Chains A and B, each alone.
Chain A
Amino acid sequence: MNDSGAKRKRCVRSWFEHRQWQAFPFQRAAWRAWRQQRSGLLHADTGTGKTLAMGFGAWQTLTPTPLCVLWVTPMRALAADAVTTLQTAFDELADLAPASARWQVGLRTGDTAGRECARQDRKPPHLLVTTPESLAVLMARADSAQRFTQLAAVVVDEWHELLGEKRGVLLQLALARLRRWRPMLIVWGMSATLGDLEEARVALLPTAVGDGLVIRGKVPKTMRIETLLPERLERFPWAGHMGLRMLPQVVETLEAAGSALVFTNTRNQAEIWYQALLEARPDWAGLMALHHGSIAPAARAFVERGLKSGSLKLVVCTSSLDLGVDFLPVEQVLQVGSAKGVARLIQRAGRSGHAPGRASQITLVPTHSLEILEAAALRQAVAAGHIESRCSPREPLDVLVQHLVSVGLSGGFRADEMLLEVRTTHAYRHLTDADWQWCLDFIRQGGRALTAYPQFQRCAPDDEGVWRVIDRRIAQRHRMNIGTIASDAEVMVRFGPTPPGQRLGSVEERFVARLKVGERFWFAGRLLEFVRLRDMTCWVRRARGSRASTPRWEGGRMPLSTTLAAALRVQLDAAAHGRWSGREMRAIRPLLELQARVSLIPREHQLLVESLHSREGAWLFVHAFAGRSANLGLAHLFAWRAAAVEKDSIGIAVNDYGFALLSAIGRDWSSVVPIMLGDEDRPVSQEVLASLNAAELARRRFRPIAQIAGLVAGAVPGGRKSARQVQASAGLYFDVFRRHDPGNGLLSQSEREVLADELEIRRLTDALSRLQRSELACKTLTDCSPLAFPLYVERLRERLTNESLVERVRRMTARLEELADA
């Protein structure tokens, strides 16, 4: 260490002394590593001082030059927060060491105004806080390499959030590129609780084998999990309905708390709960706020400031507040509906009780009866330290295609060098030559066959073998669509049009398309009246009353983790043995006793299968307890095997606990159950793939892939034209590819993704062999059992058919005539 380094180290120490704080050992370890110019992964929970560990590390080690540190965060809300924290701390350090250079911190996200971007381009800040998408845009400019000549370090905040997603892959590719430009680049990741830290480290630091440090932060606090129990248990565990039934208890709990966060799993649910709470306690208006991803950035920032200053007593939110935003810890955290996993529960619970020595506490609000069991299961998993792992996606070609076109825009690439670079990333380390060639073919001519895509060209090698984008229109459209967050076309919601007023946020175009002029709906916690849709803006005015719809946003449904699913089976087993220990188990006892009367409570080694004939057809309920994704795969496999015995069109409904099959031909299910289960010698992945081809799953999965690969332009809220007006739909592409280019790499990717992510094939295989070893218990129901009921009312989202269209249409026509005759 040189003199100035030592001086800066003393500065940091006196900064802490001024506050009468003590640096944590992990912070000192991180600073030491920075001074040694090492890279690594810092594993610490939110609100424990990670930002200072990294920020001060950079400050002590580096001389501030333009754009010497990139600070990448997964969320825009976090970005603004990081800027404030870092700039304040740097300014204070500079005051302690007047001789040292001052650090300028800048912010660059999708929300940053054009004027500010231009200012940054002229005079880059020393440290730039940005998102993976904005970084990708920055790197897709012609002069990118020159821009980053001073870059010394990259810090990735909340890496665990990015790791399992394509956004993280986009970042892996960006890092590979930055490392190529700056071989000595220091890279640090910060991550919260994860089951598999090594995967997180390797994905971030693939080239630093053995060198990437892992520093463990403060040990998580102890945690208490409580459940709000309904006064009367409903006979049938309606999904979603019991939620609001719990309103009085929730209000009571909130009254007792000084401040609270109410987490919901969807934006729609957040809107509904906000309304309900406001109706129950109108006096909380002004003390209460709503926070979710579709609300306008300005409004979100307002809520975050309110949380920080303590002026808000209560915020209803979604995962939008899972991360970062160092606000004051609240007294009470409520989770409406299943937390789905242990890691997420710990993270949300961590929002409460930051005071030293105080336990964090989370109160679960079950939305249907079976969720009552989850509290007991979660407690068990936390105690055992079972936390889910996250893995980087494996060679997603859509992201690579997008990246290659970006590089083609920023000075171009040579194919052989680029392949080496791409293979240095964790996600593409096993990229095959064939897949690589397909990507090159795709950007050059649209596909593998030389003649298949005449007139199409996105990127091509010039005379010197450097791949570049030539067409200006293609360049422009590509820059607009960088990113991997696929979304439906969204429109901005705004007061107006005369005069144009406040922007409230964005909703899916599909929702607005169904609205009639004058129709009312809830959004951002307000009752609005639809005026008109123009220029991709949904103009609204304030409305009065209470009856109105609430927009639903498409969003990923989190599957129940394996850990939690297994723990649930243990709870059921106890019930089957007549052991009712704990408040939750006692509360759910009447329901499970009913289950035992009309059917049976499955023991741990049993597979319960129930069949029921209704007006709609013949139902089969399979209580596999494998989590939503694996249940979905199992359902497809079972339907496929049944349809092979006798041609059928089978509707499929799935939840976390099991799945239901509904036969259109009214078959007798019990005879095929053993065939559907199969035996252990039959490999399943080929069969599951085949079953997919008979289903719509791969087709639906194709939508985001088409968007990332640039087939379908993404949505630009407030943009001039609807994405739908100028584009062919992803579904149309899917069909045309299937017919005219079945070898298309994006098609096989959608199949792979369905297998790996949506159906979790490994988990599915494990679950299937567990079911095969289980003792089969088949029950014929005359009425729905409590376990079957949630599946019975769940929408049939999937369908598998091996009948011809004409057979299906004939049956439909016959039915319509029956109805007409009746």
Chain B
Amino acid sequence: MNDSAINATWERFELTPEGAVWDAAASVLWVADVHLGKAATYRRLGMPVPAGTTASNLLRLEGVLARTSAAHVVILGDLVHSRLGVDRELSAQVEAWRARHARVRLTLIEGNHDRRSGQLPASWRIETVGQPLHVAGVECRHEPPVIRTSAASDTGGQSGFCFAGHVHPAVTLDGPARDRVRLPCFFARNRLLLLPAFGDFTGGANVHEVRLGRPTALFALTGQHVIQVSLPATAG
């Protein structure tokens, strides 16, 4: 990713076009659902997905790190896709990447895919913790919290922020001349923020299917930009 990337702001955070959240004051960067080795997993099962998705995922992470110089990266789960995908080659790629960013602290909130993939290689130097974890005043989770429907619980009964992954939200937008696009997006409801999947070779869930109520803000990723959009009237 180059320097022309344009961020959006949500509360005190910056949202990047790659789908990361940046807190400059605390120097913390959040990403979710990278799914490293997903393509390799498919290949092992006999499906010819070309290589390159892992490299490009790491490259994008490198881009945000270069722009932000974050001291701490929190991965909100599903860093790796499956045990099958974690092989020597992936390890070597991650190690090389790690060597270029030796000083960054990496924390992984264990996601459902991570749990099934076994321990990460020690050489990656990533600390794995269960959810929730509190970092810079933010409750960090993989699966979003269960939202009770009563009005008082909209903020989770607390003033802090909560970030989660797992859902891979996407939004379908309609325009003049029946134009239509589907884009990965950030999904905010009060102080809860769902991050889009950072990974390349991943699908997404429509915001209308996200069972967390109506979003209070949506930010769509268009490649170089993050744009705040309104919630479309109907599901795509």
Question: Chain A interface (Cβ within 8 Å of chain B)?
Answer: 442, 446-447, 451-458, 471, 473-474, 477, 616-617, 649-651, 662-664, 666, 710-711, 727-729, 732-733, 736-737, 739-741, 744, 796, 799, 801, 804-806, 808-813, 815-817, 820
- CB of A647 to closest CB in B, whole Å: 13
Q: Are A811 and B229 in contact (CB under 8 A)?
A: no
28 A/B residue pairs, CB under 8 Å, sorted by A? A452-B50, A452-B51, A453-B43, A453-B48, A453-B51, A454-B40, A455-B43, A455-B87, A471-B46, A473-B45, A473-B46, A617-B176, A617-B177, A649-B175, A664-B175, A733-B49, A736-B53, A740-B52, A740-B56, A796-B177, A799-B179, A808-B181, A809-B229, A811-B176, A812-B175, A813-B229, A813-B230, A815-B176
Report how far A811 CA is from B176 CA in the complex, Å: 8
Report how far A474 CA is from B40 CA in the complex, Å: 16
Interface flag for B127 (CB, 8 Å): no
B180 partner residues in chain A, CB cutoff 8 A: 799
Report how far A452 CA is from B227 CA in the complex, Å: 34
Interface string of B30-69 (1 = CB under 8 A from A): 0000000001101111111111110010000000000000
- CB of B129 to closest CB in A, whole Å: 30
Interface flag for B225 (CB, 8 Å): yes
Q: Are B51 and A809 in contact (CB under 8 A)?
A: no
Among B56, B176, B223, chain A packs the most CB atoms within 10 A around the CB of B176
A451 partner residues in chain B, CB cutoff 8 A: 51
Residues of B163-205 whose CB lies within 8 A of A: 173-181, 183, 200-201, 203
Residues of B129-179 whose CB lies within 8 A of A: 173-179
Q: Are B51 and A740 in contact (CB under 8 A)?
A: yes
Q: Are B89 and A662 in contact (CB under 8 A)?
A: no
Report how far A820 CA is from B233 CA in the complex, Å: 10
- CB of A749 to closest CB in B, whole Å: 14
Interface flag for B222 (CB, 8 Å): yes
B174 partner residues in chain A, CB cutoff 8 A: 812, 815
Report how far A40 CA is from B87 CA in the complex, Å: 56
B45 partner residues in chain A, CB cutoff 8 A: 473
Report how far A796 CA is from B177 CA in the complex, Å: 9
Interface flag for B220 (CB, 8 Å): yes
When C-beta atoms are compared, the residue in chain A nearest to B220 turns out to be: A809
Q: Are B227 and A809 in contact (CB under 8 A)?
A: yes
Report how far A447 CA is from B49 CA in the complex, Å: 9
Report how far A452 CA is from B53 CA in the complex, Å: 11
Interface of B is mostly: mixed
Report how far A346 CA is from B49 CA in the complex, Å: 46
Interface of A is mostly: mixed
When C-beta atoms are compared, the residue in chain A nearest to B200 turns out to be: A736
Q: Are B51 and A805 in contact (CB under 8 A)?
A: no
Knowing A447-B48, A452-B51, say if A808 contacts B87 (CB, 8 Å): no
Knowing A447-B50, A816-B230, say if A809 contacts B181 (CB, 8 Å): yes
**Top 8 closest A-B pairs, CB basis?**
A446-B48, A740-B52, A812-B175, A664-B177, A456-B43, A805-B222, A741-B50, A455-B43
Q: A458-B48, A664-B175, A816-B173 are in contact. List 20 more A-B contacts (CB 8 A).
A: A446-B43, A616-B177, A616-B178, A649-B177, A733-B49, A739-B52, A741-B52, A801-B179, A804-B222, A805-B183, A806-B223, A806-B227, A808-B179, A809-B181, A809-B220, A809-B227, A812-B229, A813-B227, A813-B228, A815-B175
Residues of B204-234 whose CB lies within 8 A of A: 220, 222-225, 227-230, 232
Q: Are B175 and A811 in contact (CB under 8 A)?
A: yes
A710 partner residues in chain B, CB cutoff 8 A: 46
Q: Are B222 and A809 in contact (CB under 8 A)?
A: yes
When C-beta atoms are compared, the residue in chain A nearest to B231 turns out to be: A816
B87 partner residues in chain A, CB cutoff 8 A: 455
Report how far A733 CA is from B48 CA in the complex, Å: 9
Among B44, B45, B46, B56, chain A packs the most CB atoms within 10 A around the CB of B46
Report how far A805 CA is from B6 CA in the complex, Å: 14
When C-beta atoms are compared, the residue in chain B nearest to A475 turns out to be: B46
Knowing A452-B51, A454-B40, say if A732 contacts B46 (CB, 8 Å): no
Report how far A74 CA is from B41 CA in the complex, Å: 38
Which of B40, B53, B232 interacts with A740 by CB under 8 Å?
Answer: B53
- CB of B86 to closest CB in A, whole Å: 12
Q: Are B50 and A740 in contact (CB under 8 A)?
A: yes
- CB of B47 to closest CB in A, whole Å: 6
Q: Are B47 and A664 in contact (CB under 8 A)?
A: no
- CB of B186 to closest CB in A, whole Å: 14
A452 partner residues in chain B, CB cutoff 8 A: 50-52
Report how far A446 CA is from B42 CA in the complex, Å: 11
Report how far A711 CA is from B43 CA in the complex, Å: 10
Q: Are A816 and B232 in contact (CB under 8 A)?
A: yes
Report how far A651 CA is from B46 CA in the complex, Å: 38
- CB of A164 to closest CB in B, whole Å: 28
Q: Are A736 and B49 in contact (CB under 8 A)?
A: yes
